[in-house]
Every structure is written in C-alpha cells, then in structure tokens.
Amino acid sequence: MIPFLKPYFNHREFLALIKSDRNSVEKFESEFARKFNAKCAISFSSARSALYCVLRTLGINNAEIIIPAYTCVVVAHAVVLSKNIPVFVDISSDGFNMDLDLLRESVSSRTKAVIATSLFGYPIQLPKIREICGKDMLIIHDCSLAPGVNYGETDTDVTLYSLNVRKPISTLGGGMITTNNNEIFVKVRDFRDHNQSRYSIIQKTIKHFFFLSQFFAFNKKIYRIVDYLANDTHLLDKFLLDYSDNLDDVPDDYFKPLLNSQARIGLVQLRKYDYMVKKRREIAEFYHANLKSNSSIVLPPIVEGAIYSHYCARVKDRDGFINKMREKGISIGCYFDYCIPELKAYWKYKKVEFPNSLICSREVVNLPNYLGLCQRELEYIINSLSTVLSV
C-alpha cells in the first residue's frame, strides 16, 4: 500500500539513532540555526511546548493572540495553556494562509502577538504582517510545515518548527524555535532549562522503541496493516494522533528535553533537506500538470518559494474519495479535518464565521508527496485518481 506520508529515512538515520554522542542536541541547534539563517535555535520536546514557553517567557498573559482558524489545534492549545485568548482569523479563499485583510480588522489594543502560519509549505507575507501590526507587536512565524520558507526573514521575532513524523524535517518528535533576538533567546533558553525534567530510563527506553518502530511502519507491506489498525480499529490513535480538541491536552513529554538520539537524526535530515524540498516540488508540479484539467478536484496553487510539505487538493465527498483510493491501495490523508473555532472547546472564542477554513476542513485531502515515490507509483496514483474522480 502507498502511504500518504513517509519520512525520508534510511540507514544513516538508523545509525544516528543507535550511536552515542552526548553533545548532539547542542550541535543540532547550532546547525539548525545556521541552515535557516538565524542567530540562535532552541530545541524542545514539541512545537507546542516551544510556543508555550515563548509566550510564558515573554510575559504575555491574558492578552489576545491572533492565529489562523485553519491550522493545527495544538497552536490554540498552547495559547490557552499560557493563559491567553486566541483570536481566530479566516484563511484566504485562494490558498491556505491567513487572510491579511481580515488580520488588519482583528488587531486591537489587547493584541500582543500574531502567529503567522505558512501552512502546508506556502510562504505567508511577513513584511505585510509587520506593516499591519507595527514594530512592537510580537510576530511568531509558524514554520511547522514550512521549514526554509522566507529564508533570513527580518519581519518576525520568533520562528517555530515542528519535527514530528508528519513534518518535512523529522526527528520523530520534537520542536525548535529560532530567533535573531539575543534577549528572547536567553530568556526562552533559561526558562526551558529551569522547567524541563529528564526522562527516566524506562521512559527513554520506551521512546527509543517507538523511534525504531517508525523505521518499519512505513514499509509498503507493513503499512497496509498499520492503515487497517489506524482506520478500521482506531487501536493506534494513542500513538498516531498528536493532538486532541481538549484544551488541557498536554503530552506526557511536554516539559522533557529533545534527546541526543533525536538530535543525531535531525543532523542527518538537515543534510538532506535541500534535496527533499526539490523532490517535493517536482511531485507537486507533476500532480498539477496531470490533474489541472480535471474539474472534480480543486488543486492547490503552484507558488514560487512553496515547499509543499503536503499536496492538499479539495474534493466534495472526502470520505467516499478516501475509501475508494484505499481500495486501490493508496492512502489519502485529511490533515487538517477541522476548523478550530468550530470545535466545541473553542466555541466561546468564536466571534465571526470562517467560511474558507470550514470548506478546507471538510474537503482537503493530502495526496502522497514524499521522497521515495517512484515514477511508476506516481503514474499509478494519477490513473487511480482519474478513475475515482470520474465515477
């Protein structure tokens, strides 16, 4: 079965996982900052814990934090957990990023930060956001699905990265922030170091066992079993779902450090990164060229500078489409399948309607877009799509 996502791992990541180097985290932070043209980088157990630490460290409390209505719900969780108020803004009708005209209308005297997401690898207009918000507003660029977008940016204070298995760079869990502001760097690093706790031997052993399982889970033959367990039995929800709509959703490792073994995997991934982006772009262009004449599917835009962490098209009958593609041996994702203000936990924060976010939450599907897809598989996906969409 063809998975809809697959980390680009080989023997180099496996060897990195099992070898010993006690200073790997510091090396990874340094190389990460250098790769993405930042002065400093700080690692965390997850992106949500990184975001929480930034907001807490900088003393942002009981303030309005503007975020997209269509993004990962853990962003909103971190805002609420830090005792702030999420203010949601709809995405634009021609893409997946925040509508900047609506952002302008949403800024108030209580707004202390904007989390600007480059969703699915599409670059957001940071200079315009800075112009809208002014030089004193904290701007956090959420690059969880877009590492490398807007290289060397000067219009953001903090850039946020996620490193779990769904992301373009994976350390099998983890997060990172980069900043060019030394004061922010020192404050956030000191807060992290003061508050995080170490793993026990048992916890670390379990985590390493989980890491090792990922090297085999995406094998085509094994993935068919994984897909069945995940979609037909939900026995793997505890392991596969990295979020819930519970406001108190806090992972067990929320205040744990990134492990040296994860950092070693990250160092290998950084060396592959430019090639991974090149291949994702080629696959996105292949889909676009072969599907643009099909009126039964709404294709995402081809945008200069986008890295296409996910190739996200839209279909009307999403569940039916996903099931028909599964019958042909192709896994299709729907990441994200919600509009945050429409989740029960966030109803009290909903002040307006979010039509574009709602449409995407109901219609977006993720076609396979990862290194390791061969030309024969891509052509099979296109042929299967043409068959399914013509019914």
Residue 147: pLDDT over 50: yes
Residue 22 pLDDT > 90:
no
What rounded mean pLDDT belongs to the chain? 90
* Mean predicted confidence (pLDDT) in 221-245: 61
Q: Name the residue ranges covered by the structural domains of the chain.
A: 11-195, 217-248+272-390
Whether pLDDT at 213 is above 90? no
The CATH class of the 11-195 domain is: alpha beta
- Between 63 and 153, residue with greater pLDDT: 63
Q: Hunting for tokens 């068919």 — which residue is that? A: 224
Amino acid at residue number 374: C
State mean pLDDT over 42-46.
95
Residue 42 has pLDDT above 70, yes or no: yes
Give residue 217's pLDDT. Answer: 72
pLDDT at residue number 239: 47
User: What does the pLDDT read at residue 253?
Assistant: 60
- Kindly state the average pLDDT of the residues 209-232: 71
pLDDT score of 166: 85
- What percent of the chain has a predicted confidence (pLDDT) above 90? 74
Output the pLDDT for position 218. 74
Phi, psi for residue 108 in degrees, rounded to 5: -135, 180
The pLDDT-based confidence of 372 (bands split at 50, 70, 90) is confident
Distance CA 233, CA 247 (A): 25
What predicted TM-score, i.e. pTM, was given to this entire model?
0.92
Q: Which of 37-46, 191-200, 251-260 has the highest mean pLDDT?
A: 37-46
Residue of 391 and 276 predicted with greater confidence: 276
Average pLDDT over residues 318-333: 95
Q: What percent of the chain has pLDDT over 70?
A: 91
Helix, strand, coil percentages, rounded to 5, for the chain: 45, 15, 40
Q: For residue range 122-135, what is the model confidence (pLDDT) as tens digits?
A: 999 999 999 999 99
Q: pLDDT digit string (tens) for 373-386? A: 999 999 999 999 99
Report the b/e string of 71-85 with b at 16+ CB within 10 A. Answer: bbbbbbbbbbbbebb
Architecture of domain 217-248+272-390: Alpha-Beta Complex (3.90)
Q: What is the pLDDT of residues 70-101, one digit of tens each?
A: 999 999 999 999 999 999 999 999 999 999 99
pLDDT value at residue 153? 65
Bond before 28 cis per omega within 30 degrees: no
For residue 232, the Cα-to-chain-centroid distance in whole angstroms is 25
3-state secondary structure of 6: coil
Report pLDDT for 152: 54
